[in-house]
């Protein structure tokens, strides 16, 4: 599956070939012609973000795509019933009337994560705010929408409500970055992550934090959000030898669950006021008690660039414990923040304890796309 941006804020999604077509073409993947997914939207000012796509585990011809329409600042869902050959923009909105807007300026991050639960139940994480909340630098809340009919209707709950907070505690929870579901028990356990920011705080150490919320009743109710950074025990020494905490970098966490109910979370670390910057790893945390305790591993080799856009996924294949896969961007041999970035991949078959060395394809097309040198894992 591939997606392609087109002009005027529209996007098209390459057709996901039906199983028969893939079989006939042999084992090599191939791309079909782009399809205009938002053809139902005739507004001349429409401006869609890049979508987050999922294939229905019960019917691979059903594909859903979550995206923000930035002009109206609303989150939408598109659906295909023919493996991507045609698309419908659904009328039902996952947001709440009292929190109508979901769009925020989130840089390179997704804003509309979706995940499957049992029986093709779809979970949709999104922000929620209104003009009374102060705009994109004001109080922005976190919502979770649930659909049992592939997006025809939604039941939406508030995960973290920030409405009414004033002064230096104004809480800007953007973006909602990841949703994961554990369906190994009798009821879906749903996890949502986001980046918490306090834009009116002067102390940079406390301006940002990776947050996790847990629902043990399929998204109906939510526990108090967990500050993941506070769970991470390590400190770093500054130039004077003083122990100072790592802080979260620009990017928000990514989640995945395995078939035994364990939750894995990844986010990149950063430092403040330390020159030259020390090694700043990507962190993998594992919890088997729904966020009460975590086991951490620093899985990425040192890098001077820490705004890694990272995606973490678990697969049942690859070994007795399945395998974890992480993809992130980096530019390890350059110090300039404006330098080009490469995409790197690592894999673990022992629940995140050890990882393969970072790899980056050198067989891409055109041949001028090459990965630069990178330190090996330790």
Report pLDDT for 74: 96
In a domain, 77, yes or no: yes
Residue 26 — very low, low, confident or very high, per pLDDT cuts 50/70/90?
A: low
In a domain, 59, yes or no: yes
The domain of 84 spans 1-91
The answer to whether 112 touches 48, Cβ cutoff 8 Å, is no
Residue 168 — very low, low, confident or very high, per pLDDT cuts 50/70/90?
A: confident
Report pLDDT for 22: 36
In a domain, 137, yes or no: no
In a domain, 30, yes or no: yes
In a domain, 112, yes or no: no
Cis geometry, peptide bond prior to residue 175 (ω within 30 degrees of 0): yes
Q: What is the pTM of this model?
A: 0.85
Q: Give the number of other Cβ atoms within 10 Å of residue 253's Cβ.
A: 25
Number of domains in the chain: 1
Give the separation between CA 237 and CA 109, rounded to whole angstroms.
Answer: 30
Average the pLDDT over each of 231-245, 254-268, 300-314, 354-368 and give the range with the smallest value: 354-368
In a domain, 141, yes or no: no
In a domain, 25, yes or no: yes
Residue 200 — very low, low, confident or very high, per pLDDT cuts 50/70/90?
A: confident
Mean pLDDT, rounded, of the chain: 82
Give the separation between CA 348 and CA 267, rounded to whole angstroms.
Answer: 16
Report pLDDT for 349: 95
Tokens in use for 167? 């002064």
Alpha-carbon distance values, 76 to 33, 39, 88, 152, 223 (Å): 24, 14, 11, 11, 26
Residue 45 — very low, low, confident or very high, per pLDDT cuts 50/70/90?
A: very high
In a domain, 21, yes or no: yes
Report pLDDT for 12: 31
Whether 243 shows a pLDDT value over 60: the answer reads yes
Give the separation between CA 40 and CA 188, rounded to whole angstroms.
Answer: 33
């Amino acid at each position: 599956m591939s997606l392609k941006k087109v002009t005027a804020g529209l996007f098209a999604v390459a057709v996901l070939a039906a199983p028969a077509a893939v079989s006939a073409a042999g084992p090599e993947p191939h791309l079909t012609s782009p399809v205009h997914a938002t053809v139902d939207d005739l507004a001349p000012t429409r401006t869609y973000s890049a979508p987050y796509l999922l294939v229905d585990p019960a019917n691979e011809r059903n594909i859903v795509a979550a995206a923000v329409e930035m002009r109206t600042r609303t989150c939408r869902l598109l659906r295909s019933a023919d493996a991507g050959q045609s698309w419908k923009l659904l009328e039902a909105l996952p947001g709440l009337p009292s929190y109508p807007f979901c769009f925020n300026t989130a840089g390179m991050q997704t804003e509309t994560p979706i995940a499957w639960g049992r029986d093709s139940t779809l979970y949709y994480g999104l922000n929620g705010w209104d003009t009374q909340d102060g705009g994109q630098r004001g109080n922005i809340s976190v919502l979770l929408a649930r659909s049992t009919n592939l997006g025809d209707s939604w039941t939406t709950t508030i995960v973290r409500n920030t409405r009414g907070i004033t002064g230096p505690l104004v809480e800007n929870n953007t973006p909602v970055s990841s949703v994961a579901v554990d369906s190994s028990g009798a009821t879906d356990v749903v996890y949502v992550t986001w980046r918490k920011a306090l834009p009116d705080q002067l102390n940079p150490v406390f301006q940002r934090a990776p947050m996790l919320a847990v629902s043990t009743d399929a998204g109906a109710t939510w526990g108090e959000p967990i500050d993941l950074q506070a769970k991470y025990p390590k400190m770093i020494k500054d130039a004077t030898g003083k122990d100072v905490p790592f802080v979260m970098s620009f990017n928000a966490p990514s989640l995945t669950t395995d078939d035994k109910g364990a939750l894995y979370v990844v986010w990149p670390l950063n430092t403040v006021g330390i020159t030259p910057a020390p090694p700043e790893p990507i962190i993998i945390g594992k919890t088997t008690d729904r966020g009460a305790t975590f086991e951490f591993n620093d899985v990425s080799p040192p890098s001077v660039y820490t705004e890694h856009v990272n995606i973490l996924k678990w697969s049942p294949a690859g070994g007795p414990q399945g395998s974890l896969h992480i993809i992130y961007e980096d530019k390890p041999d350059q110090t300039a923040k404006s330098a080009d970035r490469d995409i790197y991949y690592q894999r673990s078959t022992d629940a995140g304890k050890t990882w393969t060395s970072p790899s980056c394809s050198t067989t891409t097309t055109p041949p001028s796309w090459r990965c630069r040198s990178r330190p090996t894992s330790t």
